[in-house]
Amino acid sequence: MTTSSRPPLRAVSLREQARNAIRTSIVMGDIAPGQVESVVKVAAELGVSITPVREAVMDLANLGIVEVIRNKGFRVPQLTDQDLDEIFKIRTMLEVPAMREAAEKFGDRDPGPFRTLAEDIVLAAEAGDVRSFLDSDRLFHKALLQTLGNRRLVNTVEQLRDQARMQGLQKLADHGDLTESAVEHLEILEAIISHNGELAAELMKKHLTHSRGIWADRPEPSDG
């Protein structure tokens, strides 16, 4: 892999860094649903002042990812199977046809940056690095959606991703079974590069079905 295929780095505010750190902790289950978390404690753990953490929590609250508890901090709401089913169904309605469209409109776009992200996902899975897996996974799916030029679609899917938590992800990594999910990204990308919209849509639906199981810590069994 060459560094030339990576997007340039940009300055990130403490507020955004705090938001990303809290969001990742939520998705990974490090912050338990229903447990009141102190802003002061989180700020100390991140090594920053209270202000950017408080601002980050308000951002996440506006997205429906956390609930602010006045004078105490915040908590992550409990998700029921119905909540997860609703998120899965909406993401399927949005992302399956989006991948079909992405394949049809990919044109002669350079696939290098997308392939780098997909390979990073696989490398993180093989290393059992869940945080890197999540970071690369988010960037990969966002990059594909951005090719459609629909900012609201990208933002909506990002919010839905944040609301679902990968409770079963660490378990997969611990058992060395995360690679199967990772490789699915390469398969989706190859279908898009080949302008095979139907295959890209089919693979995306399969990928989301597997992810739905991971959200609930009940990974779907292998098709094989």
Q: Which structure tokens are listed for 17?
A: 């860094």
Q: Residue count of the chain, please give it.
A: 224
Write out the E strands in the chain: 36-37, 67-69, 73-75
> Can you tell me whether residue 147 is helix, strand or coil?
coil
pLDDT of residue 162: 80
Amino acid code (one letter) for 117: L
Q: Does pTM top 0.85 for this prediction?
A: no
pLDDT of residue 135: 87
pLDDT of residue 48: 93
β-strand partners of 6: none
pLDDT of residue 130: 84
Helices within 147-220 (DSSP H only): 151-163, 169-174, 179-193, 197-215
- Residue 46 reports pLDDT greater than 70: yes
pLDDT of residue 223: 43
pLDDT tens for each residue of 14-41: 999 999 889 888 877 788 888 899 999 9
Q: In this structure, how many other beta carbons lie within 10 angstroms of the beta carbon of residue 56?
A: 28
8 Å CB contact between 157 and 94: yes
Question: What b/e string do you get for 37-51 counting C-beta neighbours within 10 Å, with b at 16 or more?
Answer: bebeebbeebebeee
β-strand partners of 36: 75
Residue corresponding to tokens 């490789």: 183
List, in order, residues 6 or more apart from 51 with CB less than 8 Å away: none
